[in-house]
Structure 1
Amino acid sequence: MSRVLVGVKRVIDYAVKIRVKPDKSGVVTEGVKHSMNPFDEIAVEEAVKMKEKKLASEVIALSVGPPQSQETLRTALAMGVDRGIHIEISGKDYEMLQPIHISKMFAKIAQDEKCDLIVLGKQAIDDDSNQTAQMTAAVLDWPQAVFASAVEKTDGGLKVVREIDGGLETITTKLPAVVSADLRLNIPRYATLPNIMKAKKKPIKKLSAADVGVDIKPRIEVISVEDPPIRQAGSIVPDIDTLVSKLKEAGHVK
C-alpha cells in the first residue's frame, strides 16, 4: 500500500444548536463554530495509524468547501497527515453540492495521486447522507467496506469488520478499495502543540471543481428547510378501552 486518501469535511460543531434561517432557505452558518466532521476524525486517525505501522507511505487529506476548509485540513495535518488538497467551492455552489459531486472529486484525486486506499467517515453530521463512500467506490469500480469498526492489513488486501443491523460482519477485500469509518473503529488523537506548529509548514494544494473536471451544477432544489414539529405532550389513560377510544378519535386506528 503506498498512498492513502482521507476525506475531511468542515461541519457545524456537534455541540452547536442548529438554527434555521428566517427565510427557511437553510441553516445559519455565519458566526457559528465549525469543526472537522467527527467520523472524518476517525478516518484520519485510521489512515495515520496505517502510516505509523509502515502500511502506507503517505497520507493525503482532501477537503471540499469554502476557504475556511483549510483550517480543517490543518487539523488533519496536525494529527499526522502528510499533505492536504483543498478543492475550493463556496457560496450557493457549496450549499447545493451533493455526494455525487464529492464522490467524483475523490475519484479523480485518488487516480491522479495514485492512491491505493480511500478512507472516509461513514457520514457527515450536517446532512447525514451516508452516500459519498459508496458512490466513490462505484465511480472508481473499486470494492468497498463501509461502516468499518476494525481494519486489518492482509497479504491480499484488507480484512474489515463491519457494523450491520444484525451485529458484526467480517469481510475481506482486495486493494485498491474504499473504506468508511464507523464510530467504534478507533479514538482519534488530540493534536499536540508541536504538531500544530509543524502542520503550518505542511503543503496544501488548492484546486477548483473545473481543475478536477467535475460539473457542480445542482441536481436538486431546496424548497424549504424547517425545524421539526414540537412534540405534543402525552396523557395517561386509565385502561386499554380508553386508549383505543382516544386513538379512534384521533384517526390513528379504525
Structure 2
Amino acid sequence: MKILVCISNVPDTTAKITFTDNETKLNKNGVQFIIGPYDDYALARGVELKEQFGGSLTVLHVGEADADPQIRKALAIGADDAIRINAESLDSYYTAVQIAEVAKQNSYDLILMGRESIDYNSGVVHGLVGEMLDIPSYSPVMKLDIEGSEVTITREIDGGKEILKAPLPLVLGCQEPIAEWKIPNMRGIMTARTKPLNVVEPVSMEALTAPEKYALPAPKGACKMIPASEAETLIRLLQTEAKVL
C-alpha cells in the first residue's frame, strides 16, 4: 500500500500570538511550532496501516525550511520519506493544488491529513484535493479499517456517526480517536536523520485569497456574580451589557 500523509506546521496551542506588517502576517519570533494535532492522528493511523499491510508511507508538507524539524519528527515516528514543497502556504486552494500535483505524479492508494489545521481551521483542503484528483474524499474520519481494496470508515456527522464503505483510492480528513498519537523513540530519531527529505519547487500559480488584517480576540471581561434571587438583574445585564438576549 502506498500512503501519503499531509502535515501542517502550526503554532503550539499554548503559544502567544502577535502579528507584524500592519497586522497582516504572523510574528514567528519566539513561537514554538508543532505538527498539526489532527495531522498527528492521520500520521499515527498511516504508520499503523503501513505496519499492517506493508508498502510505503510518505509525508508531505507545503512550507518553508523552518518546518524541517517537524518533518523529521514525522520521519522518526515511522514515515519512510518526505517531500517538502518549498513555498509558503498562501491559502487552502494553493496548498491543495501543490498536494494534488505531487499525488498525480505518484499514484497513492490513500491520502491522509487532519480534518483541519489549527491555525486557519479552513477544513477544506482534503475536499479540494479529492476534487482535483477526481477521487472521493471524506471528513472527519474517526475510524478507518481496510480489507483488500475496500475501506470502512466511521465519520462524525451532526447528531451522530456515519459508517461508510468505499474503494481505494481515497482522500480522508482525520480526527481522534482514529489512532493514538505516537512519540518517536531514540531509534526512530536516529534513523530519521538518514531518511530522504526531498525539497521540490511549487507549481506556479497565484493564491485566490489574501488576508487583509488579523486581530486577536477581545480580552475577557471581569466576571460578575449575580445572586440566584436576583433573576431580573441577571436578565437586564444579559440584555444591556452582554447583549446576548
Length-normalised TM-score, structure 2: 0.90
Alpha-carbon distance in structure 2 between the residues aligned to 1:39 and 1:145? 14
Change (3 A) 1:246 1:78: closer
Aligned residues: 243
Q: Structure 2: state its 5+ residue gaps.
A: none
Matches within 5 A, 1:89-238: 89=87, 94=88, 97-209=90-202, 213-215=203-205, 217-235=206-224, 236=226, 238=229
Decide whether the 8 Å contact of 2:93 with 2:207 is kept in 1: no
Q: Structure 1: state its 5+ residue gaps.
A: none
Task: Report the alpha carbon displacement of residue 156 of structure 1 after superposing the two structures with TM.
Answer: 4.3
Task: Note the aligned Cα RMSD (angstroms).
Answer: 2.2
Q: Which residue pairs with 2:6 in the alignment?
A: 7
Alpha-carbon distance in structure 2 between the residues aligned to 1:32 and 1:105? 26
Alpha-carbon distance in structure 2 between the residues aligned to 1:251 and 1:151? 44
Q: Which residue pairs with 1:30 in the alignment?
A: 29
Deviations 1:30-79 (A, max 9, x none): 2321111111111111111111001x411111011111222221111111
Q: Which residue pairs with 2:74 in the alignment?
A: 76
Alpha-carbon distance in structure 1 between the residues aligned to 2:193 and 2:244? 63
Alpha-carbon distance in structure 1 between the residues aligned to 2:95 and 2:239? 48
Could you say what secondary structure the match of 1:40 adopts? Answer: helix
Alpha-carbon distance in structure 1 between the residues aligned to 2:63 and 2:153? 30
Change (3 A) 1:214 1:139: farther
Amino acid at match of 2:120: D
Amino acid at match of 1:138: E
Q: Quick one: percent identity of the two aligned structures?
A: 25
Amino acid at match of 2:50: K
Length-normalised TM-score, structure 1: 0.87
Amino acid at match of 2:168: L
Q: Which residue pairs with 2:19 in the alignment?
A: 20
Change (3 A) 1:207 1:231: same
